Amino acid sequence: MKMPYKIIRGGCPYCDLCCMCNIARKAVYGRDAVYPFTHGKEFGEVQAGGEVYLEGEPRFLTLDHLILLPKLFLPSRLKKCIELGREPLFIDVETETELGGFKVKVPVIVAAMGSIDIANRRGLILSEGSARAGIVQVIGENVVNMRGYDRRITDQPCLKERILKYFEHVNGNYGGVVIQQNVEDANHELWNKIYSDKDLDEYIERGLIGFEIKAGQGAKPGLGGEVKVKRDLALKLKNIYFFPDDPEKIAKEWYEIHSVPGTFTREILSDMIKLAKTTIQE
C-alpha cells in the first residue's frame, strides 16, 4: 500500500504523526494515547488532526481537496438572468440565508469548542472572526465551570468575555452566539445566568443569542466531554466532575476530567425545550 508519507525509523520526532507510529504510541502510552498528542507539546496545545502535514506531505485529505461545482442545468439561473437583464456572473451569487433561526452571510457555523486550552485560548479570536464574517459561533460546554462566567478563574478568557467579544464585532443582525449547556453547566444554572444578564438583554431581544441542549457526545460516543487539567484546577473542580484519580489524594501533573453525556428521552428533551422557551419569554 502506498503511504502518503514515509515512515521515519529510529528516533522519529514525529512518532505520533504516522499511522504505524500511532499504533506503537498507543501500545506505549495506553489510555493516555486517547488524547491528542504531539512531540514536545502538552495536552491542550494540540488539536486532534491538527498536524496536517508531515515533511510537506498531507497526512489526510483537507478542505483544500474539495471542489464545489454548480449544476449544469440550473432553472434558477434563468430567473436570475431575467432579474438582472444579463447573464449572471460569480459576483451575483448570494450566500446569505437563514440557518437555525439566525440570519447569516454564509451557511457556515463555527462548531462548539469549549473549555479545553487550545480552544479557549483562541476563543476571543474565534469570536471576533466569526462575528466579522456574519456567521454563527457555538461556544461549547464546561467553560462556565472551568474558566468562570464573568470573571477569570484561570489565566484564560471566561465565558462572558468570549460572548461579548463576538458582539463587539457583530455584523449588523447577521450571525449570533449559541451557548451549549451540558449537565454540569445546567447544575451551574448557565442559561439562567445568560438570560438574566442585563449586558446581554439587547442581543437576546435581537435574536442573536441561542441555546444548545447537549445530548450525548459526537466525538466520544457514550461518553461526555473529556479533558485533562493540572492539579490546581483539578482541586477546584473535583466536586463538579468525575476524576478517576482524586487530586487531594494522588499527586501528579495531569488529571483526567469527565463530564456526563446526560440522559434523554423524548419527554425529557421536550420538557427542556419548553423550559428554555418559557424562561426566555419571561
- 200-258 residue pLDDT tens: 999 999 999 999 888 777 666 667 777 888 899 999 999 999 999 999 999 998 898 88
The alpha carbon dihedral of 262, 264, 268, 270 has a sign of positive
Pairwise CA distance, residues 140 & 120, whole Å: 10
Q: Give the number of other CB atoms < 10 A from CB of residue 163.
A: 25
Surface-to-core class of residue 127, CB atoms within 10 Å of its CB (0-12 exposed, 13-18 middle, 19+ buried): buried
Q: What is the pTM of this model?
A: 0.78
Beta bridge partners of 178: 138, 210
CA-based torsion, 50, 126, 158, 225: positive or negative: negative
Q: Are strands 254-258 and 226-230 parallel, antiparallel or unpaired?
A: antiparallel
Q: Torsion-angle region of residue 83: left (phi > 0), alpha (psi -120 to 50) or beta? A: alpha
List of residues 6+ apart from 272 with CB closer than 8 A: 213
Local confidence band at 123 (pLDDT 50, 70, 90 cut-offs): very high
Amino acid 216 reads G
Q: In a 3-state reduction of DSSP, which class is residue 97?
A: strand
Per-residue pLDDT band at 20 (split at 50, 70, 90): low
